[in-house]
Amino acid sequence: MENTAQQQPSIENLKSAISEIKPLIADNCIPNNKKLIGICRQNSIELIGGNNDLHLIHELLETAVNLHLSESLNPSSLQDEKEKAFDE
């Protein structure tokens, strides 16, 4: 009997893909699906024929965006912006 179960990507593979996406976001170069698929393939994240569905590339992009935002914006700067909006 052939084993048809595909291996899930490792946490390290996922982290590596996210670390490649984050600088693109920081440079305002939001990657398209083709670029995201290429990043996944470079990090041994199989999308076609594996257990992962194509939605995974968008989850990686969303995670990279969230990380970028949390690292680039600190809570005090957000509070300052809220206060400025109320003062106007």
Q: Using one digit for the tens of pLDDT, what is the confidence trace for 16-73?
A: 999 999 999 889 898 888 888 889 889 988 766 555 566 777 788 888 888 888 888 7
Work out how many domains the chain is built from and give that number.
1
Least confident of 1-5, 10-14, 33-37: 1-5
42 or 78, which is more confident: 42
Q: Is residue 2 part of a domain?
A: no
Kindly state the tokens that stand for 5: 């179960």
Residue 40 lies in a domain: yes
On whether residue 3 sits in a domain, the answer given is no
Quote the domain boundaries for residue 49. 11-87
Asked if the structure places residue 1 within a domain, the reply is no
Give the global pTM.
0.64
32 in any annotated domain? yes
CB neighbour class for 13 (10 Å; exposed up to 12, middle 13-18, buried from 19): middle
